[in-house]
Structure 1
């Protein structure tokens, strides 16, 4: 639990952000750009690796554009034009839609590079960045019960203790501390067992496919020739990075937080053993080990705001149950959280500040709550192998079905207006409960 402290000590910043992934760096950037003093803490030293597919949808690209991040090819990005889907004996290419709300392209970049870029972007905006600082829990005011800072300790490059514990104080704290959600659990905010949980593993290969302009998704994984062997659980992806390499991985999702018993690394090895030789997905071309991570989904922890603490990104389970996408929502959450905090600083009373801070959770639920609820229904359906087989066999060849499905799964639809598919998805998300 968080340590209880007396009030009255001076603050170290207007806002403390814990965790310098996309959610934390986004929040730090937007707060600093608005003129607040920001202390951004992370236990790692950057650049550092992060388990991810490295693909960014147009929704994520729109957030990077809002931040003013340079997105040219010479800046280290590769653009993708859409999604290539393989399953049921079909190959379907689905271009990103032309919308007013989002650009018509996605991006890919290794998280080692992306997270470092966003961290430096926040620093350039004025955020004070402190690496190798392991935040161990919240500081709670003994009189008000509010979070007024964090407990931390310095660590070395290997994560070992490298100094005495220290406390940092601020009137508002943003928890962007990932799946571990140490600040939230320190306040007793446990994850919901009725929310989906995904698992993903990935590695990198040197490959001639590194310049493929399509993000590729394999809805069926076979341990031999397709149709002549056993179908394995999960789905796979190949995201080209344009630098001679590709991110190759697979994942699966459960409709509850219960742990699965699948050996994902063995499953990955079987899938790679069946890959075409010309892709060069072989051990001699593999760069680094196969590594895995949990994917908390569908707002699996809350409340998003309470007692001076805002939860953003994976700490709040903001990964989409539809596609495992988390970066777009992490960037969005950082922006919306920062806006609520900036507005709160302009309020003249404690009650007014609380009302402004509470808008963060309301805005995120209004925008994503119904969509995530639909995602939970989707996960329950595709958990049944016969449903998944029917969808890939009979749905993929039908353009109208796939247009709707693509926009729904990628969360790339016009929220107001648009064509029939956009209006259908918007209506569904409004009708679905946001809880």
Structure 2
């Protein structure tokens, strides 16, 4: 696919999180020369719940990532839902499309492992390289590379700016995506936006040690439980199998403007939850092993188009987090796989028009698979951000088995797109008849 000898690679991937590492792996596996750039040096931390749904596990299996327990992975059996003073332990659905288990691993370790996997596939990683913008063809305006600033170990400028050229660039640089913004691909104001905060606690000697279930608390209060407003969102407790647990909470609003208008102090909300948690959980200051950190969660394709002028947007750069549960890793890995296939296929086309059409199939495939699902998610958020509706759902809806079946499949991001039980068929049918996001 190289347009000239001056090209440094067949494809440049900006950002080496799960979306970027997945893209780099699939492109390299297809025989392309891949340059993977990241401003950090690995291993590095990222704010996340550290839980992987069966959908994410399926993507790791496709990539050939080793997920054995003796390699630092912990399996979980399902989801424990806590609400209305009750809890339900729900095993992950038994499906042909996804495995019947989830995984947990800290992002510090997960992202490093995925980058190493991409390197083993043939991708070249350049760390401490902050991409400063796109390199454009003067005549066509098409992206033909990137400019990059080398950084030292403290994130400061370290030398002259560099230029890297490639006929295709993948923007995997996260929620802010300065690369996409430089191309005037801006965030949409009609898409949900979430906020999440999390920290870590030691769990030895507590009831939270090596829990076989990922736990979700669907009642999130902006003050003392039961005496304040019920917020749209949930808290989580995910055991990591290394003597610690990731504990956090996330809230979602139907639009960024609505989220800004609410202006909750999410760190204070987490502190309130921890102070009112049972003593046997051990969520105390003495057991806390890291600071409380927060991040924005871009949802429902909140940046478009997904392909433009030689640039594909993947993961958080395209707003691929699920509005139903704040899960983003599974979709980041999937986007990398689909992007890699489109790029590899475009390489075989002999005309510029044919290559452009083939690259454009990436956006078409992602919207065909996730567009309807994200539309349902947007409607879901609009409903639950009303406290009265959220309270009614928790009090009257969750105790009903049929509602719980829907909750499990929506919160786990796992349903059979073809076939399955009647719940699968209802969800899949709805995703096909509603407008695509």
Tell me the secondary structure at the aligned position of residue 117 of structure 2: helix
Q: How many residue pairs align between the two structures?
A: 428
The answer for the alignment partner of 2:91 in structure 1 is 95
Matched, 1:79 2:75: yes
Corresponding residue number in structure 1 for 2:196: 200
Per-residue CA shift, 1:291-318, capped at 9, x if unaligned?
0000000000011111000000000000
Provide the rounded CA distance (Å) in 1 between the counterparts of 2:85 and 2:202.
Answer: 27
Distance 2:373 2:4 in 1: 43
Match of 2:356 in 1: 354
The answer as to whether partners of 2:175 and 2:317 remain within 8 angstroms in 1 is yes
Shift of 1:397: 1.2
Instruction: For residues 36-80 of structure 1, give each alpha carbon's deviation from its aligned partner in whole angstroms, at most 9, with x where no partner exists.
Output: 000000000000000000001000000000000011111111111
Unaligned ranges ≥5, structure 2:
none
In 2, distance between residues paired with 1:126 and 1:361? 25
Q: Secondary structure at the match of 1:397?
A: coil
Does 2:299 match 1:297? Answer: yes
SS in 1 for 2:325: coil
TM-score, length of structure 1 as denominator length: 0.96
Whether 1:134 aligns to 2:130 is: yes
Listed as ranges, the gaps of 5+ residues in structure 1 are 1-6
Name the residue aligned to 1:400: 402
- The residue that corresponds to 2:340 in the other structure is 338
CA distance in 2 between counterparts of 1:205 and 1:132 reads 30
2:79–2:89 Cα contact (<8 Å) kept: yes
1:117-144 CA distance string (max 9 Å, x none): 0000000010000000000111110111
**Hey, what does 1:61 align to over in structure 2?**
57
Aligned counterparts, 1:309-324, within 5 A:
309-324=311-326
Task: Check conservation: 1:47, 1:112, Cα contact below 8 A.
Answer: yes
Cα displacement string for residues 310-365 of structure 1 (whole angstroms, at most 9, x for unaligned residues):
00000000000010000000000000000000000011111111111011000000
Q: Counterpart of 1:236?
A: 235
Alignment of 1:188-267 (within 5 A): 188-207=184-203, 208=206, 209-222=208-221, 226-227=225-226, 229-231=227-229, 233=231, 234-258=233-257, 259=260, 260-267=262-269
**Equivalent in the alignment of 1:433:** 435
Q: Tell me how far 1:230 sits from its aligned partner.
A: 3.0
TM-score normalised by L of structure 2: 0.96
CA contact (8 A) 1:204 1:287 kept: yes
Aligned partner of 2:38 in structure 1 is 42
2:156 maps to what in 1?
A: 160
Using the TM superposition, give the Cα deviation of residue 409 of structure 1 relative to its aligned residue in structure 2, in angstroms. 3.0
> Secondary structure in 1 aligned to 2:88?
strand
Give distance in 1, aligned partners of 2:63 and 2:362: 19
Is the 2:230–2:387 Cα contact (8 Å) retained in structure 1? Answer: no
Deviation at 1:224, TM superposition (A): 7.8
CA distance in 2, matches of 1:24, 1:221: 33
Q: Give the corresponding residue for 1:3.
A: none
The RMSD of aligned alpha carbons is 1.3
Q: Secondary structure at the match of 1:315?
A: helix
Please tell me whether the aligned partners of residues 224 and 274 of structure 1 are also in contact (alpha carbons under 8 angstroms): no
Whether 1:379 and 2:381 are equivalent positions in the alignment is yes
2:221/2:269 contact within 8 Å kept:
no
Other-structure match for 1:4: none
**Aligned to 1:243, what secondary structure does the other structure show?**
coil
Q: Distance in 2 between matches of 1:334 and 1:315?
A: 12
On the 8 A contact 2:145/2:163 being kept in 1, the answer is: yes
In the aligned structure 2, how far is the partner of 1:63 from the partner of 1:245? 25
Summarize the Cα distance change of 1:403–1:232 in structure 2 as closer, same or farther, 3 Å threshold. closer
> Which of residues 14, 19, 23 is equivalent to 1:27?
23
C-alpha distance in structure 2 between counterparts of 1:140 and 1:210, whole Å: 52
For 1:106-121, what aligned pairs fall within 5 Å after superposition?
106-121=102-117
1:133-168 per-residue CA deviation (whole Å, 9 max, x = no partner) reads 000111110111110000111011221111110110
SS in 2 for 1:402: helix
Report whether the alignment pairs 1:279 with 2:275. no
**CA contact under 8 A between 1:17 and 1:39: conserved in structure 2?**
yes
Q: What CA distance in whole angstroms lies between the structure 2 residues aligned with 1:204 and 1:379?
A: 28
